Amino acid sequence: MLRYFISSCILLGYFLGSAQDDTTGTIPKDSLENKEPYGLRIGIDLSRPLVSFLNEDYTGLEFVGDYRLTQKLYLAAEIGNEKKTRQEELGNEESGSIATLYNFTSSGSYLKLGVDYNTYNNWYGMNNSIFIGGRYAISSFSQTLNSYSFYDSNRYWSENDFIEGSNIPEEFSGLNTTWLEFVFGAKAELFANFYLGASVRLGFIITNKEEDKFPNLWIPGFNRVTDGSKFGVGYNYSISYFLPLYRKAKKPNKNGVSSPDQ
């Protein structure tokens, strides 16, 4: 995942550099101020529909959006729904003695709210971003334990198998998790008002309501839960459209670079 994100950042960096190379960096002689667009940017995460198409054990959809407050600061949000089936296998692949310890399905919705801060200094007339941000996130979901077996360390009589548990699905509903999320990403304008974005997210679980019988091993919006850790990693790749609602005057400096809000 990290490899794909680094590749995406390189690609976005190319777009950012190319976009600025196309701009001379000079201020039009007949312009006394730069009126920058402010408004709402809405879009969709591209990775989830792609993974849904390639992996029959997963379906997901996420909408993304942000609203520009100042020169550098944006309100941001993501809302989505995910369903994933996972299983834990134990054994030796070389010997072919692999058994399924459990199989479960997690399904639910999530909402993330927070802010992004653009650290990228655009040239005059540009509106790209390399940003850091934070989110408060909540996920409401259910888990269905489809099947499970018992692991017995004393396997004298059944060397290659587990003790059979149950194949009758058992659903645990009313589960929820909240977490804080640190975000790092970039957005580049491909052409007028259309943006390509990528971000990586580090989450830290705050609250986690789960069943005593079966823990929350995969949380919609958070991703996989590692045993003994409250941290998780996620990512998204987005395409979005910027809807300008108004323009705000901002005087550029002598080099043609917009200065931060005072």
Interval 134-155: pLDDT, tens? 999 999 999 999 988 766 655 5
User: Residue 25: what pLDDT?
Assistant: 45
User: Residue 4: what pLDDT?
Assistant: 47
Rg (CA), the chain: 24
Number of alpha carbons in the 13 Å side-chain half-sphere of residue 201: 25
Q: Residue 165: which of 93, 104, 225 has the closest Cα?
A: 104
What sign for the dihedral angle of Cα 160, 165, 167, 172? Answer: negative
- The continuous run of DSSP H or E covering 58 comes out as strand 58-68
Rounded to whole angstroms, how far apart are CA atoms 164 and 228? 27
Confidence of residue 249 (pLDDT cuts 50, 70, 90): confident
Rounded to 5°, angle at Cα 40 from 12 and 178: 80
Instruction: Evaluate if pTM is beyond 0.85.
Output: no
In the chain the domains, ranked by start, together with CATH numbers, are 2-22+33-90+97-115+125-245 (2.40.160)
Interval 65-88: pLDDT, tens? 999 999 899 999 999 999 999 998
- Amino acid in the structure at residue 183: V
Confidence of residue 127 (pLDDT cuts 50, 70, 90): confident
How many Å separate Cα 174 from the centre of its chain? 23
Hey, which residues does 172 pair with through a beta bridge?
143
Q: What are phi and psi of 24, to 5 degrees?
A: -70, -20
Rounded to whole angstroms, how far apart are CA atoms 75 and 196? 18
Q: Residue 50: which of 59, 63, 37, 38 has the closest Cα?
A: 59
User: Residue 164: what pLDDT?
Assistant: 66
